[in-house]
Amino acid sequence: MESKGTATVVKHTGSHYLLCELPQWQPFEAVIRGKLRLTGSKSTNPVAVGDRVTFENGVITGVLPRKNYVIRRSTNLSRENHIIAANLDMVFLVMTVILPETKLAFVDRFLVTCEAYGIHPVIVMNKTDLYTEKELQEQMEWMADIYRNAGYEVIGTSTRTMQGIDRVRELCRNGVCLFSGQSGVGKSSLLKALDPTLDPKIGEISLSHLQGKHTTTFYEMHPLSGGGFVIDTPGIRGFGLVDFESGELSKYFPEMLKVMDSCRYMPCTHTHEPGCAVKEAMERGEISAERYGSYLGMLEEETKYR
């Protein structure tokens, strides 16, 4: 292995990293200099999985410009942020209707971040084999319709019946894909179904709170035997937005972006103005009330924490 060059970060375990000169899969260890830790002081991790870095003699010396990244606020009251992964071709947001229930507000915040940073998101509704009751099936179809109508691909998956696995595998084949979502939605089981040679940790659901236990401790990239690379991440409890201006937020809702140029007054916040095309589209059922409600919640949140 060369003692100097450029490589991709494929694993992050605290202060230690694994690098790899993709597309070859020969990981090697590296650390970062203390000086590099201080760059971008608002970020808890100046180097993320997926980053292209320069290295010399096992030390990361710099981070090359990112084409994109997924980032979230560490906590609602914190000014710090955390970069989940960088330089992605696609993001799979894994969600579940039950065990645990994924809230729409979480999904919408995640999607807005993907839109803002130019990353193509796909929604994976996992554990469909559990939705045997009519009410659960109707809830899943209702949620899927909300996002399909907004322009997103929604894939129903089950690691027991293998429903949808081929489609996810096909999308992963040519690039670097991130799998993210809340704890317990089955990300690790899904990766194992995509490629049985992988050995991600698979956890159980905490029945007392119907939440998943954290099983993936580190951020890590894996090569898929069928082609492509996937990044597994620890489960996310919450997803706070980072560095958004209230006036630009609606641009990251694709269904709002289609109609907002027809608003009578510009700029329009799509909250109280007369002749608002977004509100009119919602009243016609072209924009879901749930997505519009998420928009209002984010708008209020950005004002509150700014």
- Judged against a pLDDT cut of 50, whether residue 212 lies above it is answered with no
Q: Does residue 295 or residue 40 have the better pLDDT?
A: 295
Average pLDDT of 201-226? Answer: 61
H-run or E-run covering 85: strand 81-86
Average pLDDT of 79-106? Answer: 92
Q: In this structure, are 48 and 106 located in the same domain?
A: no
- Judged against a pLDDT cut of 50, whether residue 132 lies above it is answered with yes
Q: In this structure, are 91 and 228 located in the same domain?
A: yes
What sections of the chain are H helices per DSSP?
A: 34-37, 104-116, 134-149, 165-172, 187-194, 254-257, 277-283, 289-305
Q: In this structure, are 124 and 201 located in the same domain?
A: yes
Q: In this structure, are 155 and 224 located in the same domain?
A: yes
pLDDT tens digit string along 137-177?
999 999 999 999 999 999 999 999 999 999 999 999 989 99
Q: Give the model's pLDDT for residue 38.
A: 47
Which residues span the domain enclosing 252? 246-305
- Judged against a pLDDT cut of 80, whether residue 85 lies above it is answered with yes
Q: In this structure, are 100 and 8 located in the same domain?
A: no
Would you say residue 269 lies in a domain?
Answer: yes
Q: Does residue 13 or residue 11 have the better pLDDT?
A: 11
Q: Across all residues in the chain, what is the average pLDDT?
A: 87
> What CATH number is associated with residue 273?
1.10.40.50
Q: Give the model's pLDDT for residue 177.
A: 97
pTM: 0.88
Count of domains for the chain: 3
> What CATH number is associated with residue 176?
3.40.50.300
- Three-class SS of 203-267: CCEECCCCEECCCCCCEEEEECCCCCEEEECCCCCCCECCCCCHHHHHHHCHHHHCCHHHCCCCC
Q: Give the model's pLDDT for residue 306.
A: 43
- Judged against a pLDDT cut of 80, whether residue 12 lies above it is answered with yes
Q: In this structure, are 105 and 221 located in the same domain?
A: yes
Q: In this structure, are 112 and 171 located in the same domain?
A: yes
Classified as helix, coil or strand, 46 is coil
Q: Does residue 120 or residue 301 have the better pLDDT?
A: 120
Q: Would strands 229-232 and 176-180 be described as parallel, antiparallel, or unpaired?
A: parallel
- Band of residue 74 on the pLDDT scale cut at 50, 70, 90: low
Residue whose entry in the numeric block shows the structure tokens 């992964």: 85
pLDDT tens digit string along 16-50?
899 999 999 999 999 987 666 545 546 778 899 99
